[in-house]
């Protein structure tokens, strides 16, 4: 497969079967939020032509990245989830990673203090190889951030967001979709926090919550959360058959 799992790192030039590792990683990142999914979903996530998904599914299964979840449905294994979060960047020293984290936390403070930003950081979680002290060559610094509007009144948030979107558009920024306009307040702050850093791998906590909480992690800002336990199914109660009263026609 051409993968290196030291610090959740993959070879950018490696393959899973005949498919590029980076294409597979992108597809699995899309699919890990869906349970279960089908082969057509895999084709869309990987950008494959219709009908070509079974070959990729076979390669993923042979590498232990997915497993059958039911008739015609699939789900990521723990190895698949790990692969979806792996980095293809060149490893960096722990000292470099720590400097990148320090700069990131400075940007978090700037976001909170600068009234220009419409969002604030309400939760920040560190996960991945940074939490393994024995690993000195890290793939990146994995962080998940939760952003909320600074303004409490949602109608006011929408007004400020619309004004900011118009301001950015007047400066030449092109929005690719309606959602990018609607969540301008979130996207602008998220991009600033990322800071074009090659070392910082930043995830949206609201989207990746289930994954982040399922792996070793450390909450840097905000209150810790736990994954809600799945309800234990109970056996159906056997209901005794009642006798029909005399003279009942049914």
CATH of the domain at 31: 1.10.10.10
The tens digit of pLDDT for each residue in 94-110 reads 999 999 999 999 999 99
> What is the CB neighbour count within 10 angstroms for residue 176?
7
The pLDDT of residue 44 is above 80:
yes
Instruction: Tell me whether residue 24 is exposed, middle or buried, using C-beta atoms within 10 angstroms of its C-beta: 0 to 12, 13 to 18, 19 or more.
Output: buried
Separation of alpha carbons 88 and 139, rounded Å: 7
User: How many structural domains are present in the chain?
Assistant: 2
Task: Provide the pLDDT confidence category of residue 6 given band limits of 50, 70 and 90.
Answer: very low
Render 43-84 in DSSP notation, one character per residue: HHHHTPPTT-HHHHHHHHHHTTSEEEEETTEEEE-HHHHHHH
Judgement on whether residues 59 and 101 belong to the same structural domain of the protein: no
Q: Are residues 115 and 172 in the same domain?
A: yes
In the predicted model, is pLDDT for residue 27 greater than 50? Answer: yes
Residues 108 and 203 in one domain: yes
DSSP designation for 36:
S
Specify the pLDDT at position 87.
Answer: 74
> Looking at the structure, do residues 199 and 78 belong to the same domain, yes or no?
no
Residues of the chain with pLDDT > 70, as a percent, come to 87
Indicate the DSSP class of residue 19.
Answer: E
In a domain, 188, yes or no: yes
Q: What is the pLDDT of residues 147-192, one digit of tens each?
A: 999 999 999 999 999 999 999 999 999 998 898 999 999 999 999 9
Domain co-membership, 77 together with 133: no
pLDDT band of residue 241 (cuts 50, 70, 90) is: low
Residue matched to tokens 């497993």: 67
Is the predicted pLDDT of residue 83 greater than 70, yes or no? yes
- 118 and 37 within one domain: no
- The 3-state DSSP class for residue 130 equals helix
Residue 43 and residue 49 in contact, taking contact as beta carbons nearer than 8 Å: yes
- Predicted TM-score (pTM) of the model is 0.69
67: in domain: yes
Strands (E), the chain: 15-16, 19-20, 66-70, 73-76, 92-93, 119-127, 137-138, 141-149, 200-204, 217-221
CB 211: neighbour CB atoms within 10 A?
Answer: 21
CA distance 139 to 225: 26
Question: Is the pLDDT score of 10 beyond 80?
Answer: no
Same domain membership, residue 187 and residue 116: yes
Q: φ and ψ at 153, to 5 degrees? A: -75, 115
186, part of any domain: yes
Q: What are phi and psi of 43, to 5 degrees?
A: -60, -45
Other Cβ atoms within 10 Å of 205 Cβ, number? 21
Together in a domain, 217 and 96 = yes
- Asked if pLDDT for residue 133 goes beyond 50, the answer is yes
Residues 96, 210 share a domain: yes
Radius of gyration of the chain (CA): 23
Residues 24 and 73 in one domain: yes
**pLDDT for position 243:** 56
In Å, what is the CA distance from 88 to each residue of 10, 20, 139, 243?
Answer: 5, 12, 7, 69
Average pLDDT, the chain: 86
| Structural domain range at position 75 | 15-85
Residues 196, 106, single domain; the answer is yes
Query: Do 107 and 78 fall into the same domain?
Result: no
pLDDT at res. 66:
93
Q: What is the pLDDT of residues 202-240, one digit of tens each?
A: 989 998 888 889 889 999 999 999 876 545 444 445 555
Q: Considering only 60-74, 77-91, 185-199, which range has the smallest mean pLDDT?
A: 77-91
């Amino acid at each position: 497969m051409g993968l290196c799992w030291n610090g959740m790192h993959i070879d950018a030039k490696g393959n899973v079967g005949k498919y590029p590792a980076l294409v597979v990683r992108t597809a699995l990142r899309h699919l890990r939020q869906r349970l279960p999914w089908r082969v057509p979903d895999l084709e869309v996530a990987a950008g494959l032509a219709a009908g070509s998904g079974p070959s990729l599914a076979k390669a993923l299964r042979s590498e232990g990245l997915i497993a059958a979840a039911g008739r015609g449905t699939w789900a990521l294994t723990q190895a698949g989830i790990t692969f979806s979060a792996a980095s293809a960047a060149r490893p960096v020293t722990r000292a470099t990673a720590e400097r990148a984290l320090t700069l990131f936390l400075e940007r978090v403070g700037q976001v909170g203090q600068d009234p220009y930003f419409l969002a604030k950081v309400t939760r920040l979680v560190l996960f991945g190889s940074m939490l393994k002290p024995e690993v000195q060559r890290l793939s990146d610094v994995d962080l998940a951030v939760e952003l909320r509007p600074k303004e409490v009144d949602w109608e006011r948030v929408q007004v400020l967001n619309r004004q900011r979107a118009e301001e950015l558009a007047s400066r030449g920024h092109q929005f690719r979709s309606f959602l990018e306009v609607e969540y301008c307040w979130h996207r602008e702050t998220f991009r600033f926090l990322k800071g074009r850093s090659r070392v910082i791998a930043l995830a949206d906590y609201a989207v990746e919550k289930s994954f982040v909480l399922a792996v070793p992690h450390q909450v840097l800002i905000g209150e810790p959360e736990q994954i809600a336990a799945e309800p234990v199914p109970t056996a159906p109660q056997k209901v005794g058959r009642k006798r029909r009263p005399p003279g009942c026609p049914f």
